[in-house]
Copies of this chain bind each other. A is one copy, B any other.
Amino acid sequence: MFTKNLVVAAPVQFGRAALVASGGHVSAVIVNSGNANCATGTAGHRACKAVCIDTARLLKTKPSQVFPSSTGIIGVPLPTEKISSHLSPLISRAEASVEKLRAFADAILTTDKLPKIASIPMQSGKAAITGVAKGSGMIHPQLATMLVYLLTDVAATPGELRSVLRKTCDNSFNVISVDGDTSTNDTVLLLASGESKISLRKIRTEFEAGLHSVCCSLAEQIIADGEGVQHLVRLEIKEARNRTEALQIARTIAHSLLVKTAWAGADPNWGRILAAIGRSGVALDPKKVSLVIGNQTVCRGSVACRFDEQRAHKELSQPESRVRVRLGRGNYSLEFLTTDLTSEYVRINADYST
């Protein structure tokens, strides 16, 4: 699964073509952090290809079976020699250990403060799914998110993996947002080695549940480590007609500067949430809209209710709080995870390239 941004980085274009050429077979993943290799033109494509060819040669595989990812600044040439000169010592030290997985999770970070790993055993430990992710800013995935690698030893065809992954992304990485900016490099990769000899077809229900749980854990780790984030908000959109409108309303609230800054101050200023719903583009009837902060209804049918402001302030002061929106239009429910907007986010992003 890749970014829906029309401006697409060289590694995403290259990796997508490689997956087609290899029929979905991947032998290695090569990831660099600090440079997105995006808006770098034909030189960027050449650089990406060179890194993949070098990696393939050392691993004795085809370049089309090497999947590249890059994350960092846009528009700066990729310094390939910095990568290629480290490939040989990197590969000679390679091994399938928890320490090396942690080292990989650390190496791919940019503004992240913490590495992001999740793992779940299946079939009483005979197989497993393990995921590694990075992402802290430019987090508003649309069918994918910033660099996620999901590994399993279950045996499966590329087609089986694709269908399971698409469904899982919809309810994990596609319902989170830090800042509403969709990256040019978003990638979620699900790789299956087949080493356990257990076939996905036979344990599909368990596999789907396991993958869902790993992806939700990684999505929550990304949000919790969002740039400058102090408070997580679990937005519940209830009584929508369908997923499209529920998502549209959740995203409008989650991207409102006024809502996000109020959350930074744990301010129960729900009028801003109501105003965001009103401009979301969904043709709803404001008279049917109610808002709940924690377990207190603060507004019913778009009219203010009496509530304990101190208690609402206390609820929003928690590291994670809950805001529920009832639309009175249908039966569709959606949970969306988002964050406040702090001065720290501004500080981090006001001085990135220079």
Known: A36-B271, A304-B39, A304-B40. A258 touches B299 (CB 8 A): no
- Are the C-beta atoms of B181 and A303 separated by less than 8 Å? no
State which residues 301-354 of A face B: CB under 8 Å. Answer: 301-304, 309, 313, 341-343, 345-354
Asked if A184 CB lies within 8 Å of chain B CBs, one says yes
- Are the C-beta atoms of A261 and B346 separated by less than 8 Å? yes
Asked if A183 CB lies within 8 Å of chain B CBs, one says yes
State which residues 204-238 of A face B: CB under 8 Å. Answer: none
CA distance A77 to B304 in the complex (A): 9
CA distance A349 to B352 in the complex (A): 24
List the one stretch of A49-57, A80-88, A272-280 in contact with chain B. A272-280
- Are the C-beta atoms of B39 and A303 separated by less than 8 Å? yes
CA distance A205 to B7 in the complex (A): 44
- Are the C-beta atoms of A309 and B346 separated by less than 8 Å? no
The contact of A262 among B38, B255, B349, by CB within 8 Å, is B349
The A interface, classified by DSSP as helix, strand, loop or mixed, is loop
Asked if A269 CB lies within 8 Å of chain B CBs, one says yes
CA distance A346 to B227 in the complex (A): 14
- Are the C-beta atoms of A275 and B350 separated by less than 8 Å? no
CA distance A286 to B342 in the complex (A): 32
Distance (whole angstroms) from the CB of A219 to the closest CB of chain B: 19
List the one stretch of A68-76, A114-122, A124-132, A188-196 in contact with chain B. A68-76
Asked if A174 CB lies within 8 Å of chain B CBs, one says no
Asked if A180 CB lies within 8 Å of chain B CBs, one says yes
CA distance A39 to B290 in the complex (A): 11
State which residues 158-182 of A face B: CB under 8 Å. Answer: 179-182
Asked if A59 CB lies within 8 Å of chain B CBs, one says no
Q: List B contacts of A299 (CB < 8 A).
A: 39, 75
- Are the C-beta atoms of B354 and A268 separated by less than 8 Å? yes
CA distance A182 to B281 in the complex (A): 11
- Are the C-beta atoms of B75 and A350 separated by less than 8 Å? no
Q: List B contacts of A258 (CB < 8 A).
A: 137-138, 179, 181, 349
- Are the C-beta atoms of A267 and B75 separated by less than 8 Å? no
- Are the C-beta atoms of A4 and B352 separated by less than 8 Å? no
Q: List B contacts of A19 (CB < 8 A).
A: none
Asked if A5 CB lies within 8 Å of chain B CBs, one says yes
Distance (whole angstroms) from the CB of A245 to the closest CB of chain B: 13
CA distance A350 to B180 in the complex (A): 19
Q: List B contacts of A255 (CB < 8 A).
A: 180, 255
The contact of A272 among B181, B256, B301, by CB within 8 Å, is B181
Asked if A149 CB lies within 8 Å of chain B CBs, one says no
Asked if A145 CB lies within 8 Å of chain B CBs, one says no
- Are the C-beta atoms of B6 and A350 separated by less than 8 Å? no
- Are the C-beta atoms of A38 and B271 separated by less than 8 Å? yes
Q: Hey, what's the 0/1 contact readout for A34-49 against B, CB within 8 Å counting as 1? A: 0010111100000000
Asked if A24 CB lies within 8 Å of chain B CBs, one says no
A residues contacting B by CB (< 8 A) are 4-8, 36, 38-41, 73-77, 137-138, 140, 142, 179-184, 255-258, 261-262, 264-265, 267-272, 274-279, 283-284, 286, 289, 298-299, 301-304, 309, 313, 341-343, 345-354
A-B contact pairs, 15 of them (CB 8 A): A6-B283, A7-B279, A7-B286, A75-B304, A76-B304, A181-B272, A182-B279, A257-B341, A261-B349, A265-B352, A267-B350, A267-B353, A269-B352, A313-B354, A341-B346
